[in-house]
Structure 1
């Protein structure tokens, strides 16, 4: 995805090189919570923050998969694993309470838990409960985490990162549940930014990556050319303080951030750019 006039990136590149964060432990003292952290993109993000010195809270639906991630991270940092279904309000409330009880603060939240389904037939031919489940995970799950986490992020002027998709801007036939739910998170991100302006709210496209979820639609495999390290490195950069002017926007991990800064920072900081809006061609 490269809708801005910048270089399309598919792996780690100089502006998001994580090595300085790893060597200097720039996230020491920070507490990072990641949902959907048991595999794929979430696991990669968790690993990068751990290497950068952050204390981690990892959440997914099953304890066994979380245990595997915790074991892979090793003893380099403190990790709290909390099995959580993000559509369960009480479970998310417990997740946040457990985080504060363990670490006393919250600095960064990455709402990564998501769901997709096969894009193979019209929504009228699909199980309506499965269609709605995708909507529920992708938007209610983000809302639940935001509802309970943001009061704590306000105390630290922290970051709320929603993992979105380029599909949020598309009408892909047979992918209505996924596209609608990802589009809805764009608007929710803007409400977070307006109602809680001290929290840096950013909606992030992670790239096109060959994950288990993505492989539900194998026809799209030729486009799955990005690495798991790309979104992880992008998030380390976005939550480092250097790119806080992306607050209240959509950002693609495929965009070269240094080039975006050089070409578009003034437009972004002026507002009404990289946000959802109704546009009438002149």
Structure 2
């Protein structure tokens, strides 16, 4: 998470009115990160998607993206389409989904897009969506679990609507689990990828943000399980950076939103192209310069089995 350069007000805090700087002082875990790694808020050379666009790297691949009609999911869909992939896009709002499908097919020559209205919490609907993807395209190579909701910051655990709190977990965690569950047989055959859009919040304790922090923590662990049980499948839990999406706006999160959606989209493209399989089963921040991470940390990360959830011993 980037430290803000100026102070603004966080007026919904339980203590009345906290500045962003005062709020961040209460966050636990901000000091835990890779050291001496260049960070980015936009596309940088090591993950430049242009070569994938020109070579149509994913021309024979099928990519299913949940939460694919808006925000980060939309940017990821656009990147994969430009790289030649066939797309299955999942979202609840059918009208927005159809508009997204039409826009991509208009903007990307030869794009093939399947729109799948679906509630990711409903296992029957998810089973049908995965089956429809396979029936339509004949394969599945990449699953991007991006669907999410989040409660507005500012309410303590004891004062929040319990059903609304749990919905964050149902959409983000159960939604990802549902799609992974039904996609596994297809991804085994294609030796494919699961990429879950997680968050640095899974490693933090953000006051009044427990729903998101706990859900993302569990999502990170889910991503670790998949390649252990299914070695044919590669997985990554990707922190996208602080991207200003509709969900972010509604969250009233007391942080600066300074990351362009093209950064996580390009990172996902890079990972799904097999450019960093040594990070399989691990947490990855899109803001890290992956070239620097590979150069400085690859040996240590692999030998120490780092970037996974575990107890830190002295």
TM above 0.5: yes
Query: C-alpha separation between the residues in 2 aligned to 1:166 and 1:279?
Result: 17
Say whether residues 1:242 and 2:279 are aligned partners.
Answer: no
Report the RMSD for the aligned CA atoms in angstroms.
Answer: 1.2
1:138 deviation in Å?
1.2
TM-score (norm 1): 0.97
Deviation at 1:151, TM superposition (A): 1.4
Offset of residue 271 of structure 1: 5.2
Secondary structure of the corresponding residue to residue 246 of structure 2:
coil
Find the aligned partners of 1:236 and 1:115 in 2 and give their Cα distance: 23
SS in 2 for 1:133: helix
Q: Which residue of 2 aligns with 1:127?
A: 161
Q: Unaligned stretches of 5+ in structure 1?
A: none
Moved over 3 A (4+): none
Q: Secondary structure of 2:254's match?
A: helix
Equivalent pairs counted in the alignment come to: 280
For each residue in 1:168-205, what CA deviation from the matched residue of structure 2 results, as whole angstroms up to 9, or x when unmatched?
A: 00111111111101000111111112101110011000
- Give the 3-state SS of the residue equivalent to 2:283 in structure 1: strand
Gaps of 5+ in 2: 3-32
Matched, 1:183 2:217: yes
Return the index of the structure with the highest Cα Rg.
2
Deviations 1:219-262 (A, max 9, x none): 535x2100010000001111111211110100000000110110
Cα distance in 1, alignment partners of residues 301 and 98 from structure 2: 40
Q: 1:217 to 1:271 in 2, by over 3 A?
A: same
Counterpart of 1:170 (choices 204, 215, 220) is 204
Query: Counterpart in 2 of 1:102?
Result: 136
Q: Any idea what the Cα deviations from partners look like across 1:253-277, whole Å, max 9, x if unmatched?
A: 0000110110111123335210000
Which string of whole-angstrom CA distances, capped at 9 and with x for unpartnered residues, describes residues 36-80 of structure 1?
011000000000000000000000002111111111112521110
Kindly indicate whether the alpha-carbon contact (under 8 Å) linking 1:245 and 1:268 is maintained by their aligned counterparts in 2. no
Q: Which residue of 1 aligns with 2:296?
A: 263
Q: For 1:58 and 1:271, how far apart are their aligned partners in 2? A: 37
